[in-house]
Amino acid sequence: MVRLVLLLLIALAPQARAGVMTREALQGHFPAPLSVGEKDAQLPVWPIFRQELTSTVLAGYVFESIDFAPIPGFSGTPINLLVALDTKGQFLDVKVLSHHEPVFLDGLGPAPLFAFAGQYAGLSLRQNIKIGSNSNRGSQAGSANVYIDGVSKATASVRILNQSLLASALRVARAKLGFAAGADPDRVARVRQDTFRPMDWQALVAAGLVQRVRITRGTVEQAFAGSGVEEGVDAGRAQDSFSELYLAYLNDPAVGRNLLSEGGWQHLLGRIEEGDHALLVIATGAYSFVDDRFVRGAVPDRLTLQQGELPLELRDLDLDDPLKLPPALQGADSKVLRVIGPAGLDPARRLDFALRVTRQKGMLFGERVSRSFAVPYQLPADQVIVPESTDKGWQAIWRSRAWELAVLAAALALLAMVLARPRWIVATPARLARFRTAYLVFTLGFIGWWAQGQLSIVNLTATIQALVAGRSLDFLLYDPISVALWAFTAVTLLVWGRGTFCGWLCPFGALQELVAQAAQRLGLRRIRLHRSTDARLKRLKYVVLVLILALAFSSPVWTDRAVEVEPFKTVITLNFVRAWPFVAWAVGLLLLNAFVYKGFCRYLCPLGAGLNLLGRVRLLRWIPRRAECGTPCQTCRHRCDYQAIRPGGAIVYEECFQCLDCVAIHDSPQRCAPLIAQGRQRVIPLAPAA
C-alpha cells in the first residue's frame, strides 16, 4: 500500500520546469527602440534588435536561466531569471521571474532578492564578478573585477542565483557571442604551488619556465615583402635581432618567487584575484611590445594573446617591484600583464602571443600595413594540475568558510569524545550542567545565528523535489555548514540515535533549553503531562512529517507554506525580523516551552520525527541500566524531562535527547538509589559495648 502511494505521488509530482516567457511578454520588457525577434530554432533564446536611424542592428539576446542552468535553490526548486546579454557579453538586464527561496518568501520578502539581481545590469561576463565587499571595488565596464553586495541571512540563496546566472549566460555566450573557444574558468588547469626551489635566471631558462623568442630583421622583411613598405636589409644583417622577447608565468611559485623578492611576491599575490593570471614580458632589441605613448595600467597595443581561437585581453598590472634579472636585461622594457580569471585562460595549454609590427605607406593619405609574429609560450607540464572533476561553483564557498568549518569540526570532535566517554563530564551535576549550558550557547550563537547552520525539514523537502524532478543535488553543497552537520548527524544516528542532533546541535532546540532554564530560575512551575497524554502527543509530529513530505511530492507552493510549522527561519535565520504572525508563532512556542519542556521538539517538530525514524537503526544501547532500574527504582524516569524512560526502566531511544542526566544519576553513589542501598549494606554495625 505504501509503495502504491509513493508511486502515485511521484506520478503527480511536477517535472523540471522549462521557460515560460513568450515573445509578446518579452516585448513588454524591451520597449522601443528595442524589439524582440523570433525565438531561435536551436536554442531557447530571443534576439533583441535596436532601431538606429534607418537600420536595425542586433543588440543582444534574452533568455530564461531555467532553460540552461536549472540549478535547484535552497528549497530544491530552481530560481528562474530573465537575462538579457548584449553582443559583447554585457548584461543589459537581469530580473527574477520566479523562485521558492524560503528566506525571500515570508522572511526578508522578495525585494532584497530583486535588488540583488538588479546589480548585474551593466556588468560583463568578461569581468570577475564577486559577491562581497572590497576596498577597490568598482562597477565600470572596463574593470577586471567587480564586487556586488550580497544579502545578509541569505548567503546560500544569492550564491545559487549567481551560479544560475553565470552558468546560463556563459552557455548562451559560447553559442551566440563567440565565446565558444574559451574554457570554463572553473574547469581549467591550476598551477602547482609545491614546485618552488631556488633558481637563478639561467636555471629558469633551462627548465623552460622562462622562454625566449627571437625575431630577426630578415624574418620581418620577408613578412612585409610585396607590401610596399619594405625597408630592405643587407644579407649580412638579416640575422640581426629585430626584437627579442622573454616570457614567464609569474603565478607559478617556481617563477614568481625566484624573479621577485619575497615582499614583491606577496605584493603580486595581493594585486591579483583568485583565478587571475600574471604574465611577465621582457623585450630587448630595436622593437618593443610597448611604444613611447604607452600608459601604465593600459592594454599594450603591440602585443596580443589568444589561446586556440579565443582572444584574451592583456592589461598592465602597473607593478614597480624590482625583478632579479641578469645585467643584460636590466634596462629592458618589462611589464607584468594580467589576464582575468573569467576569460578562461588555461595555463596547461599553449599561450599564443603575437607581436604586431605596423608600418605606414604614403604621406598624405597614409595606409597602415601590419604583420604579426608568433611568440608562443608553453608552461612545462609538471607545473600544472589538470582538473579531474567538472564540479564547479560551490568550491569557492567552502574555501571562503574554511575557518568556520574548522571551528565546527573542533566542536563536533569535542562533542563526540564527551558522548563516547561521558564519565568525566557526568562525575558531578555541576560539571555536566556547566558543560551542557556552554555547549548549547555555542550551538545557538555560533552554529545558529553566526554560521546559519540550522538543519530543517526544508533540507529534506528540497532533496525530494530535486530527485523527483530529475535535478542534481549539487545545490546542497552551497551551504557547507549544513552539509557538515548533516554528515555528523548521519554518523551519530547510526551510533546513538536522534539525540545527538536534537539534544546538542539544533540551535532552536538549544534556545528552548536555555529559555527553560531561565524560566526555572524565575520560579515558573513546569507542567509534566501524564504519561499516556505525552505518548499520544508525541505521535503528532509524525502526522506533520507525513503531510509535509506528501506536499513535497505534489505541490511546491503548499510545501513552502507547510514548512512554516518550523519556527527555525523566524528565530535563527531572521532573528525575529519578520511579519507578526510568524513572530507570534515562534514566541508562542518558546512560551509553551517555559511550561511544557521542549514542547515543540517533542510533539510537533517534523525534522525530529524524521530523525526519530532514521535513528531506529542505531547500533548501540549506550545508556547503562541495572536490574533495579524501573523495579523498584524510578529516579531516572522521574528526573527525565523528555519522559523517554518507561516505568519498567527501558529507555525509549527514539525520544531520548542524550542530555546525559540519567547517565549522571546512574554513576552517582549519592543520587542512584541502588548504589545508595548497596553503600548502606556495606556498613557493618558495631556490637554494643559490654
| Interval 67-89: pLDDT, tens | 887 777 766 678 889 999 988 88
In sequence order, what are the residues at sequence separation of 6 or more whose Cβ sits closer than 8 angstroms to the Cβ of residue 204?
210, 248, 254, 255, 258, 259
- Average pLDDT of span 420-449: 91
Task: Note the pLDDT of residue 57.
Answer: 82
- CA separation for the pair 143, 297 (Å, rounded): 11
In this prediction, residue 681 has a pLDDT band, given cuts at 50, 70 and 90, of low
Sort strands 91-98 and 333-339 into parallel, antiparallel or unpaired: unpaired
- CA separation for the pair 115, 113 (Å, rounded): 5
406: pLDDT strictly greater than 90: yes
Q: By C-alpha distance, which of 384, 390, 372 is closest to 187?
A: 390
140: pLDDT strictly greater than 60: no
List helix spans (H) across 227-360.
Answer: 253-259, 262-271
- CA separation for the pair 249, 276 (Å, rounded): 11
- Average pLDDT of span 673-677: 80
Q: By C-alpha distance, which of 181, 123, 126, 141 is closest to 343?
A: 126
181: pLDDT strictly greater than 60: no
Task: Note the pLDDT of residue 375.
Answer: 92
682: pLDDT strictly greater than 70: no
138: pLDDT strictly greater than 70: no
Instruction: Please state the domain extents for the chain.
Output: 2-99+109-150+154-184, 190-385, 402-450+452-676
Task: Note the pLDDT of residue 266.
Answer: 92
Task: Note the pLDDT of residue 5.
Answer: 35
423: pLDDT strictly greater than 80: yes
* CA distances (Å), origin 58, targets 364, 646, 686: 37, 76, 109
390: pLDDT strictly greater than 70: no
| Interval 618-652: pLDDT, tens | 887 888 888 888 888 888 888 888 888 888 888 88
492: pLDDT strictly greater than 70: yes
For residue 251, give the amino acid letter: N
Task: Note the pLDDT of residue 510.
Answer: 93
- Average pLDDT of span 598-622: 88
Task: Note the pLDDT of residue 263.
Answer: 92
402: pLDDT strictly greater than 70: yes
H/E stretch holding 433 reads helix 429-442
361: pLDDT strictly greater than 80: no
- CA separation for the pair 493, 619 (Å, rounded): 9
* Residue 37 or 684, more confident: 37
Among 9-23, 98-112, 633-647, the range of highest mean pLDDT? 633-647
Lowest-pLDDT range, 271-275, 400-404, 539-543? 271-275
- Average pLDDT of span 574-593: 88
485: pLDDT strictly greater than 90: yes
494: pLDDT strictly greater than 60: yes
Average pLDDT, the chain: 82
- Average pLDDT of span 590-614: 91
- Average pLDDT of span 607-623: 86
Q: Cell 518579452 maps to which residue? A: 26
- CA separation for the pair 505, 496 (Å, rounded): 14
254: pLDDT strictly greater than 90: yes
- CA separation for the pair 274, 405 (Å, rounded): 21
Task: Note the pLDDT of residue 690.
Answer: 42
Task: Note the pLDDT of residue 634.
Answer: 83
Q: Are 195 and 211 in contact (CB under 8 A)?
A: no
7: pLDDT strictly greater than 50: no
H/E stretch holding 511 reads helix 507-521
Furthest CA-CA distance within the chain: 143
| Interval 301-335: pLDDT, tens | 889 888 876 677 788 888 888 999 999 998 899 99
Q: Cell 611590445 maps to which residue? A: 289
In this prediction, residue 157 has a pLDDT band, given cuts at 50, 70 and 90, of confident
Q: What's the sign of the alpha-carbon dihedral 447, 451, 452, 454? A: negative
Among 24-38, 108-122, 617-631, the range of highest mean pLDDT? 108-122
Task: Note the pLDDT of residue 605.
Answer: 93
| Interval 268-301: pLDDT, tens | 998 887 778 999 999 998 899 988 888 888 778 8
- Average pLDDT of span 183-191: 69
Edge-to-edge strand list for the sheet holding 55-64: 34-36, 45-52, 55-64, 80-86, 91-98
In 383-458, DSSP assigns E strands to 384-385
In sequence order, what are the residues at sequence separation of 6 or more whose Cβ sits closer than 8 angstroms to the Cβ of residue 539?
none
- Average pLDDT of span 404-426: 92
In 172-254, DSSP assigns E strands to 190-191, 210-216, 241-249
547: pLDDT strictly greater than 90: yes
DSSP 78: B
- Average pLDDT of span 544-564: 86
Lowest-pLDDT range, 41-45, 174-178, 592-596? 174-178
Task: Note the pLDDT of residue 132.
Answer: 66
